[in-house]
Amino acid sequence: MEATRKTYVRDTGGKLWGRPGNGVESKYLLTGFGQCACCSRNITKIGGRVGSPGKRSVKHYYGCAYHATRGRTICSNDLLAPMGEADALVIERIRGVLTPAALDLTIEKALALMAQRQQEGADEPERLQAEARKLRKELERFLAAIGDGTAPTSVLAEIKRREARLAAVEEELETLQVDRPSGRELGRLRDAFRERLERFDELLLSNVPAARQALRKLIPGRIAFRPMERDGKRGYELRWDIATRALLGGNIELASPRGFEPRLSP
């Protein structure tokens, strides 16, 4: 339990950024994230101690779990990616994308989307306020019926449905009524995001269990391991998307597919 607690990632405000998927994190960075592009099954850790007694060394690779356990007739992908190289490549590419300039661009896109939504929904606040008033009156009637003992058994479900809708209406109203941040506020916002970016950088480089939680926030899908051949050498091309909302903590997403040259296994 103590080991599990240590893998939780918190920001400076004490908020959890993630948690181990099954209570205890893997000690290998990409297990559970990788997907074989041939059969769509998991990429897993393959390998271990090799060599003669007294001269053994540890060599770990990533490879298709289906090929490893069921053979070529199930999946023909027998290619193994050196674990250290694959881990380093993913970290290198993520650090190359999540830059202060990329964060600034994301903030500007978020502000532009917010302004566009407010302009297109100029009449929305009045409509939403009217709907909120109607929902509150309906809730009051339901509660009065409960107090009188005349409410049917289904009234609790109706109350929950209206409470959920009222919460959504109030949230949408709040979004539409937010003013554009001042220059000083934007400066503080950028500073806060850069601080979080540095924290992600530290996580990716120092602690595998915590880095895996950071990756869950950064990578909304899977990392595709696609076997390929270049200049007579076999290797993998890795491709994935990055979601900057992991840093922003909101609903603005800037997905960027990342494809890059293969790292060739020996």
Question: Mean pLDDT over all residues of the chain?
Answer: 77
Whether 64 is in a domain gets the answer: yes
With contact defined as beta carbons under 8 Å apart, do 65 and 43 qualify? yes
Whether 231 is in a domain gets the answer: yes
Whether 120 is in a domain gets the answer: yes
Arithmetic mean of pLDDT, 223-233 = 90
Whether 198 is in a domain gets the answer: yes
Measured CA to CA in angstroms, residue 154 lies from 106, 145, 164, 169 at distances of: 45, 12, 16, 23
Distance CA 197, CA 210 (A): 15
Which residues, 6 or more positions from 128, have their beta carbon under 8 angstroms from its beta carbon?
A: 169, 172, 173, 176
Would you say residue 135 has pLDDT above 90? Answer: yes
End-to-end CA distance of the chain: 40
pLDDT of residue 256: 36
Whether 161 is in a domain gets the answer: no
Whether 167 is in a domain gets the answer: no
Range with lowest mean pLDDT among 1-5, 111-115, 141-145, 208-212: 1-5
Distance CA 143, CA 136 (A): 11
* Residue 117 domain boundaries: 25-50+57-131+176-266
Whether 224 is in a domain gets the answer: yes
Please count the structural domains in the chain. Answer: 1
Which residues, 6 or more positions from 78, have their beta carbon under 8 angstroms from its beta carbon?
A: 63, 64, 67, 72
Arithmetic mean of pLDDT, 152-170 = 86
CA 180 to chain centre: 27
With contact defined as beta carbons under 8 Å apart, do 221 and 241 qualify? yes
Main-chain dihedrals φ then ψ at residue 62, nearest 5 degrees? -105, 135
Q: What tokens does 248 get?
A: 């922003």
- Its pTM stands at 0.57
Whether 102 is in a domain gets the answer: yes
157 pLDDT tier (thresholds 50, 70, 90): confident
